[in-house]
Amino acid sequence: MSERPIRVLIAKPGLDGHDRGAKVIAQALRDAGMEVIYTGLRQTPEQIVEAALQEDVQVVGLSILSGAHMHLFPAVVEGLRAQGADDILVVGGGIIPDEDIPLLKEAGIAEIFGPGTPTTEIIRFIREEVAKRTQKEEGKQ
């Protein structure tokens, strides 16, 4: 019996119009055997939450370069929680100052990946975290 591939939603919240990094990550995750849905540019937190629920993803990857991460990233986490989907892993990437990372993690972002992070590190993190969450869910049943 084969395992279901990890389903990941890659999203670009806010007015940020640069998506090369998001597309590179999406392709790397696909190459690693994950199913990846890319929302495209200029998504609201509400649109991202709705897409995550409709696509039944296990992971949401947020990419931002505009500087609005302190507002937009937590809004996605809050939206998922409000829908009872707090089991979805949320990670972020882009241009994010080091001093903001602890605050984003407190807000529910599992990890932040900055420019130059090897895609292998992102893939490893996602696989490990999804496996932990899957084991935790199976233990509840």
Please indicate, yes or no, if residue 116 is contained in any of the structural domains: yes
Q: What is the pTM of this model?
A: 0.95
Domain harbouring 64, CATH code: 3.40.50.280
Q: State how far the Cα of 120 lies from the Cα of 24, in Å rounded to an integer.
A: 12
Please indicate, yes or no, if residue 63 is contained in any of the structural domains: yes
Determine the structural domain holding residue 33 and report its residue range. 7-140
pLDDT value of position 1:
43
Q: Give the position of tokens 């998504």.
A: 43
Q: What is the tens place of the pLDDT at every residue in 5-58?
A: 999 999 999 998 899 999 999 999 999 999 999 999 999 999 999 999 999 999
Q: State how far the Cα of 5 lies from the Cα of 21, in Å rounded to an integer.
A: 22
Closest CA to 48 of 25, 74, 68: 74
List strand residue ranges (DSSP E) for 39-86, in order.
59-64
Half-sphere exposure of 69 (CA within 13 A, CB side): 29
Please indicate, yes or no, if residue 69 is contained in any of the structural domains: yes
Please indicate, yes or no, if residue 136 is contained in any of the structural domains: yes
- The token pair that represents 19 in the structure block: 């998506």
Domain count, the chain: 1
Q: What is the tens place of the pLDDT at every residue in 53-79?
A: 999 999 999 999 999 999 999 999 999
Please indicate, yes or no, if residue 1 is contained in any of the structural domains: no
Please indicate, yes or no, if residue 17 is contained in any of the structural domains: yes
Q: State how far the Cα of 81 lies from the Cα of 38, in Å rounded to an integer.
A: 21
